[in-house]
Amino acid sequence: MTQGGAWIDISIADQTLALIEPGKANRVYPVSTAGNGPGEKTGSECTPRGRHVIRACIGAGQPVNTVFAGRRPTGEIYTPELYNQQPGRDWILTRILWLSGCEPGFNRLGDVDTMRRYIYIHGTPYEQQIGTAVSRGCVRMRNEDIIDLFDRVAAGTAVEIHE
């Protein structure tokens, strides 16, 4: 737990992310986890379960709908026209909270390593799908919600993902 004991609780069953801050009202955001369900294996396109931490917070100060590739802004701002040019792209927008597993053999190291799978909490252009499990493993959020969350957490913040 960091940030004065703040931590994130992600429910795959409820498709929600709660920011738990002792002494404050919890903030609950709708999310989209993996269409393939929960799972830890590399290549599964599943959302990993268990204890994690935010390894890095990426994108501070970038405009809403900034497109990221390889965790770097591409210089593009997402538009429907850009989507039409690249409809199969896995769009990562606005902010990235890069997760790292804390449980060796379950979500850390080897073929179950969350960080090496590049599992993020990030913004998405598919905001109408938020609340349903359709991602490729990451935790997708509405762009305004990821900005709000990003501004309230830091690297090292604990994250628990459960069914």
Distance CA 101, CA 81 (A): 36
Global pTM reads 0.96
- What amino acid is encoded at 13 in this protein? A
Q: Of 83, 63, 74, which is closest to residue 144 (Cα–Cα)?
A: 63
**DSSP state at residue 129:** G
Q: Grade residue 88 by pLDDT with cuts at 50, 70 and 90.
A: confident
pLDDT at 84: 95
Q: Say yes or no to pLDDT of 3 above 80.
A: no
DSSP letters spanning 60-79: TTPPTTEEEETTEEEEEE--
What are the pLDDT digits (tens) for 113-156?
Answer: 999 999 999 999 999 999 999 999 999 999 999 999 999 999 99
pLDDT at 33: 98
Q: Say yes or no to pLDDT of 163 above 90.
A: yes
Helix (H, G, I), strand (E, B) or coil at 47: strand
What are the pLDDT digits (tens) for 4-46?
Answer: 689 999 999 999 999 999 999 999 999 999 999 999 999 999 9
**pLDDT > 90: what percent of the chain?**
94
**Which domains are delineated in the chain?**
7-162 (2.40.440.10)
Encoding tokens for residue 5? 């004991």
